Amino acid sequence: MDLLDPEMWTGRIGVDGWKPGEGAALAAREATTGDQLGTLGTASVDQVAAAATGARSAQRSWAALPPATRSSVLRAAADVFERETEKITPWIVRESGGSWTKARSEILAAVAECREAAALPSHPHGQVLPSNKERWSLARRVPAGVVAVISPFNYPLTLAIRSVAPALALGNAVLLKPDPRTSVCGGVVLQRVFEEAGLPAGVLQFLPGGAEVGAAVVEAPEVRVVSFTGSTAAGRRVGEAAARLLKRAHLELGGNNAILVLPGADIERAAAAGAYASFLHQGQICQTAGRHLVHESQYDAYVTELARIATSLTVGDPYREEVQLGAIIDDTQTAQIRSIVADAVRDGARVLAGGDVTGRFVRPTVLGAVSTSMRAWREEIFGPVAPVVPYRTLDEAVDLVNSSKYGLSVGLLGDVGTALSIADRIDSGKVHINEQTVNDEANAPFGGVGASGNGVRFGGPGANIEAFTETQWVTVRPEIEAYAIQP
């Protein structure tokens, strides 16, 4: 059967096989045109509860399998992603509105995540501890149990698989609730890939739906860990609910990331890096550069080159045209971008390139004469907009970078020695010297501070084992200890 044959998933959810959803029908739509591509089912609250119960039962058997068996499933999933690239790619392009290059990069990331996760079962999962008693004392990592993964629309495959793959590899079951706008490429695809890879039934449950399904997933008693990627506002609600229920929540949230161009930097290269960071996937990335800081001596040259690049980029329907930027995900987000730019212009900012909005297409926009009090500087725009401000001293620049409530990613461009000294003063989960802000690798720690989340929860064996297992203390004596009971 075709990997994504609609006959399998139309009107259905992935709970112990493909079953009709008891919730309202969910239209899968093309971001660019709004055309309907298919129809999914959605889960009812009762179905979420049943899925959580089934996942807990399946998890025990899955965790009991030899590590090599779990590793083989993850390797097989990577192979399926590679083999089915040409079937998966159009769904990412059409549902998320991104380019073919961006879609293929998501599949490459999924392959890397699965192969990296395949090594986790054989990593050390504990320590031998000194003890003052005659015994062995061990601290071991054991599966958390059932993990809820709630993933976003912008990189729907990448931002789901980076939690799903390590959670499965470490012996957990997963309830996957993707964004309703990308439920095929962010949900159906993962369910079908792992079915093809030989994952036992019930270990991965696919639960499409809206906010009520997300809330039910978090509330399910069987769920011990919630892995959420999305907006800061939604993440706060998830974190509050998890805290009330004494569950761990791993929150990867928004960002208003900075590109800091150091004095004397190569302006052409710096502007190219800044353009990539602000305009990739229409700026709909948590790591997008939403603030550009340039020394006053090079400000004019930088904004001129950045505007030239922005003007040269092509915008259109990525499924039917060869373009570099596609559509914004929906009309609501498009209106938000338009509003922020309009407010900036009203308050004195100048549009140096772009600024045009046609339907869901937003031209790459460069803003000059920006004040740090403007929404365009303070807020996460989540669109292809690059506000630029000059600075006089490096101390002023550091203060500007750190003034944001977000703390996800910072790019420092220019002299390495200067950048190293500044990096020690930056409040950010990631600092990239002579690279732009959008960076991610399967074996590298990923996370932010402040309004960007509650620290590193993804990437590499250290973060993943910490995220998706619990610590258990075990002691062993050669015989029962003799306890003296005093009257």
- Amino acid 98 reads G
Cα distance between residue 12 and residue 40, in whole Å: 6
C-alpha 65/C-alpha 163 separation (Å) is 20
Q: Are strands 409-413 and 430-433 parallel, antiparallel or unpaired?
A: parallel
Active site residue 396: no
Ranges assigned E (strand) in 81-160: 126-129, 136-143, 146-150
CA angle 7–10–14, rounded 5-degree value: 100
Amino acid at 82: E
Distance in Å from the first CA to the final CA of the chain: 73
With residues binned 3-state (H G I as helix, E B as strand, rest as coil), the percentages for the chain, rounded to 5, are: 40, 25, 35
Q: Are 341 and 385 in contact (CB under 8 A)?
A: yes
Pairing mode of beta strands 18-20, 12-14: antiparallel
Q: How far apart are CA 441 and CA 247, in angstroms?
A: 27
Helix axes 158-169, 67-83, angle to 10 degrees: 160
Tokens of 373: 């009090």
> Which of these is catalytic: 84, 195, 222, 286?
286
114 in catalytic set: no
Separation between Cα atoms, residue 229 and residue 178, nearest integer Å: 10
Q: Which of 252, 268, 466, 470 is catalytic?
A: 252
Query: What six digits make up the tokens of 454?
Result: 């509650």
- CA separation, residue 247 to residues 144, 222, 272, 432 (Å): 11, 10, 43, 33
Phi, psi values for residue 221, rounded to 5°: -60, -30
Angstrom CA distances, 74 to 14, 57, 168, 195, stand at 19, 20, 8, 11
Between CA 331 and CA 34 the distance in angstroms is: 10
Looking at residue 75, its amino acid is R
Token pair listed for 217:
């997933």
Nearest C-alpha neighbor of 354 from the set 298, 313, 294, 301: 313
Residues labelled as active-site residues: 252, 286
